Structures are given as C-alpha cells and as structure tokens.
Amino acid sequence: MKKAIFFFVFFLLVTTVFCNSLSEFFSYLNSEGSIKFDLEIDIHIEDMQNDSSEKTYIDENIEVSFAMSHWKNYYCEFKKPEFLENIAFVYLDDEEILFSLVDNEPWRQYRVNSNIDMVFNILNNIIWELFNENTYEKEEIISEETVSYIFTPNKAKSALNSFFSGGYLPDYMYFTFVLENENIPVIKELIISEKTGTEYIKLYFSEVEFSKENEYFEEMQKLYYDTFN
C-alpha cells in the first residue's frame, strides 16, 4: 500500500509540474507499471579517507539489468564489477520476500518488508524535495534527439528548510534528466553532481522496454515456493 501511494504521489507531482517529455515518460510508466532496462553507473567521488593533502578520487563502474512488473515485483542482476557478476536479487511483493540468486541458482532469502517500506519513504521525501519549486528550479533543453531537464538547487529558499523539517536533498546536489526525443520519450541518462561537475554519479539507461515480464516473475515465484518452502 505504501508503495502504491508513493508512485501515485510521484506521478501526480510530476504531471502537475510538467507538461512535457518528462511527464509523458512518467505518465506512460505509471499506466504500464512495468519496465526493464540495462543500467550502467559511473561513480566519480572524492576519496574522503585519503590522508594526503592532494585530492584523490574513487572511480567505480557498475552494470546491472533491472526489471519491474506491475509496480510490485522487482529483479536486479549485477553484470559488473567482477566480484558481483551473476549475483541477482528478486523481490516478490505478494510473498513480501527478497531472495538472491548466484549463477541463476537460489542462494538465500531475506525478510525485508520493513526495510522496503523505509526505502520507499525516503524516496518519497526525496521526490517531494526535488520537484518542490521552493527548493529546486527546473530548466528544459530541447535538441533534435534528446530533451534534458536540469534541476538546480535554489539555495536562498532551501536554506530555510533544515534536515529536521524533512529536507533530504542538500543544496549542492544538481540533477539532470536526459530523455530520447521519441514518440514515447524514454529516459537515457540521469546525472547527479555538485555545481562544478567534478564529483558525479552518472546513470546510463539502455534497452529500455515497458515490458511486464510476467512469465519470468511467475517462474521466480515457482522457484521461491519450490526452494524455500
């Protein structure tokens, strides 16, 4: 129920603020409730544990395949780095269970319902802050192939919102959404950075499909009952 409320709020908030490609994407995703994609994550952040006076940076590259069906069942498989390769996690909402796979073989199950609720509550707060005009200003950039939306923190206004009043996004975080400019806009990139762009987390989406993957999750449900019960 909390997840359903979260997605409804997310959809309502986005469509209220935008009448453009970003709202079209979320509107279509909301109506379908299912999506799958490959995701590459590039992380470039300062190494805070470095004792030298010279700044050094941590660089990581993570690749995953992700699928969501009907806003309730989720699948995530790691492709990189090597030590996580072929490790996957499946969450089945009806069973309220998360279990892991190693090389497509069941490994362990986890009772995480309360943690899942906590994650969604945090995401809910983040989204409210991001799309709140009092804390973030939005800019649209349209090109022939893509549409970009840049969220810039309004420091004067966000300074009035302390962490204890529900502000989850610090005023140095910049967000950029890039979507392919097609009949149904599809997300292509999400970039999170500080003002100079020196430190960043870049997410690259590929093979995006609004696919329900019903057969796969039915197979995972059967696997769960055959293995863990």
- This prediction has a pTM of 0.81
Residue 13 pLDDT? 56
Percent of the chain with pLDDT over 70: 76
Give the pLDDT band (50/70/90) at residue 156: low
Residue 19, phi then psi, degrees to nearest 5: -130, 65
Residue 114, phi then psi, degrees to nearest 5: -65, -35
Residue 54 pLDDT? 81
Q: Round to whole Å and give the CA distance between 30 and 32.
A: 6
Q: Round to the nearest angstrom and report the end-to-end CA distance of the chain.
A: 25
pLDDT in tens, 192-227: 998 888 899 999 999 999 988 889 999 999 999 998
Q: Round to whole Å and give the CA distance between 59 and 34.
A: 31
Q: Which domains does the chain have, with CATH numbers?
A: 2-228 (2.50.20)
Q: What is the mean pLDDT of residues 172-197?
A: 88
pLDDT in tens, 69-107: 988 899 999 999 999 999 999 999 888 889 999 998 999
Q: Round to whole Å and give the CA distance between 179 and 186.
A: 5
- Distant-in-sequence, close-in-space partners of 194: CB < 8 Å, separation ≥ 6: 172, 173, 174, 200
Q: What single-letter amino acid sits at 49?
A: Q
| Structure-token match 């780095």, residue found | 81
pLDDT mean across residues, the chain = 81
pLDDT in tens, 28-45: 888 888 999 999 999 999
* Of residues 123 and 199, more confidently modeled: 199
Contact 176, 191 (CB under 8 A): yes
